Chain A
């Protein structure tokens, strides 16, 4: 996936689009990640100042949510569902194989709502049902 390089000026322009939102902090962090691929730590004071919150408030939100990351992502992102419905059809075995092959790209996830066609895996934002290592490799290309 393509992201813009981190820039405080670009971030400020984006934050301005949320000026009229009620309760904007989480939205602001999500917007940063969507644009830059991650939440640069410089965003914390930036968002805090912009919306008149404390840095602790923003840090608290940033560290609460599993989706938010503070380091740039790799070229590919593989999210494996390891919740019950996918466990029932071999997600744990798949997890071992995928993590052995792509240790730096793979993260656990809990449910993509594809529970009748598991194991479910999301590769670079694309959902794969009845996932196998081969299908994941194919989607990574």
Chain B
């Protein structure tokens, strides 16, 4: 009999290993599957039992609850205060549109058999029967855009690499998920690593690349070990290596581990870091698609972008673009974090409102205090107020509202937050993480933090606010990459949307 206890590091961080050990202690005959997390992190540790009626969920389970679960006959779906019914019918999960995250939490992450049973490898097999042109056309037609934050159409990037001639091309997966409030890349790798491998393999076949590299951050040790094991299994299976699933295509993947630098999530800094150098941003052009890793044509895509490709190839572009709004097609894996009652992964079609995400799914703040601000899109994203809750969550609407989607993370704050302090932190973070190449970012960030400090202390408030806005303009227009160029976004949005926090001593 199988019992599922997530091995996802978020679940483990609140006791999943202890829960699994406690279950085994009481009944050693049970098979414990360490699946990924279903994404309802507020229900973790979510224990599931496989019954004739489907999987029955119990959560959040702490180690101390395990004996009472046995007493309630949970193995046969017995009643218990933590019982949640059938997992697939939990409204929070059932109402989502899981495409990229279709298998996460459901399968054993390292079982190729289960991967195949749940639709895995269909996209790759279709790609192998196809031509480069048709694959790229399918990806372009699907409307899939870069999920790392820039939102660049994936198919167009691939086409550039495919059309550039070279003996060696690379597929680089950006798994340097450094934005606070984002964890989808980690959860996908920990819960369904073969999907990423499949997406990278398809990309390699499409553009003529034989080497893939995943740049994975050191802060994610469990993701590193799962992905490494998955790569090894895929090699043994005859998927990665000199002949992909018996075809004439060769493709293999290697992991490079980050070293705690936020700016290395910027694509050119990431290339420098993979080359073993300081993570200093490169000027563009040349585009990485033409001169990327080691000077060779390189596809750089985020984990979620690459992991969505197998579904596009399996079900077709039309099925993917049937969801979404305007030029934001398909689904977005939103991540609810910070001070939120029901945090986790919400994958929905673009166009859901901010309010639906925060209220229907998020259930308000964790503290129970009134909600005051939400930062969307990571540390370089804007702070939105309660007056903007009807904003449609898609690339264009968020830009129009003075923000950006980024990697899809939402960080919620209750009414204790001081947005002047948050604005100052944005500048301080930029000062700590700047690669130092360009002046507006390297020096502007320090001067910005000092200026906000003066505003907080009430020193020449109006003058300093003017100075700060001027500095923000210089950073936005004069920085080489998004680090310095977007740090003004949280700062300015805080000033515009929360003016009462910038009144100095008068607050």
- Chain A contacts to B: CB under 8 angstroms: 22-30, 57, 60-61, 64-68, 81, 83-89, 109-118, 120, 122, 125, 127-130
B361-375 interface with A by 8 A CB criterion: 366-367, 375
Q: What residues of A have a CB within 8 angstroms of the CB of B433 in the complex? A: 110
Tally B residues with Cβ within 8 Å of A: 61
Nearest 8 pairs between A and B by C-beta?
A116-B343, A115-B337, A83-B180, A129-B13, A23-B276, A88-B338, A65-B259, A66-B260
B44 at the interface (CB under 8 A from A): yes
Tell whether, in the assembled complex, residue A85 and residue B181 are in contact, meaning their CB atoms are under 8 Å apart: yes
The answer to whether B261 and A66 have CB atoms under 8 Å apart is yes
Q: Is the CB of A109 within 8 A of B219?
A: yes
In the bound complex, CA of A80 to CA of B375 (Å): 21
Of B12, B279, B280, B339, the contact of A88 (CB 8 Å cutoff) = B339
Q: Contacts A116-B336, A116-B343, A117-B44 given; indicate if A87 touches B425 (C-beta within 8 A).
A: yes
CB of B377, distance to nearest CB on chain A (Å): 11
Q: Which of A68, A84, A110, A113 contacts B422 (CB 8 A)?
A: A84
Whole-angstrom CA separation of A92 from B156 in the bound complex: 44
Q: Would A117 and B276 be within 8 Å (CB), given that A23-B294, A66-B261 are in contact?
A: no
Smallest Cβ distance from A89 to chain B, in angstroms? Answer: 5
Interface residues in chain B, defined as those with a beta carbon under 8 Å from any beta carbon in chain A = 9-10, 12-14, 41-42, 44, 177-183, 185-187, 218-222, 256-262, 273-280, 294, 335-340, 343-344, 366-367, 375, 379, 409, 411-414, 417, 422, 425, 429, 433
13 new A-B pairs (CB below 8 Å) besides A84-B411, A127-B222?
A26-B277, A30-B259, A64-B278, A65-B259, A65-B279, A66-B259, A68-B260, A85-B411, A111-B182, A113-B9, A114-B9, A115-B338, A116-B340
Among B179, B219, B337, B417, the residue within 8 A (CB) of A116 is B337
Q: Is the CB of B294 within 8 A of A22?
A: yes
Q: Are A65 and B260 in contact (CB under 8 A)?
A: yes
Give complex CA distance A27, B276 in Å: 7
30 contacts between A and B (CB under 8 A): A23-B294, A24-B276, A25-B276, A28-B276, A29-B259, A61-B276, A64-B278, A65-B259, A67-B259, A84-B375, A85-B337, A88-B339, A88-B411, A88-B412, A88-B417, A109-B260, A110-B180, A111-B178, A111-B180, A113-B177, A113-B185, A113-B186, A114-B13, A115-B335, A115-B338, A116-B183, A116-B336, A116-B343, A117-B14, A129-B14
Contact of A30 among B186, B257, B294 (CB under 8 A): B257
Q: Which of A27, A28, A89, A110 lies in contact with B178, CB distance below 8 A?
A: A110
Question: Are B220 and A110 interface neighbours, CB within 8 A?
Answer: no
What is the bound-complex CA distance between A57 and B344, given in angstroms?
A: 42
C-alpha spacing A29/B180, complex, angstroms = 26
CA distance A39 to B478 in the complex (A): 36
**Which residues from chain B contact A88 at a C-beta distance below 8 Å?**
337-339, 411-414, 417
A24-B276, A88-B417, A116-B42 are contacts. A127–B9 as well, Cβ < 8 Å?
yes
- Residue from A57, A81, A112, A122 with most neighbouring chain B CB atoms (10 Å): A112
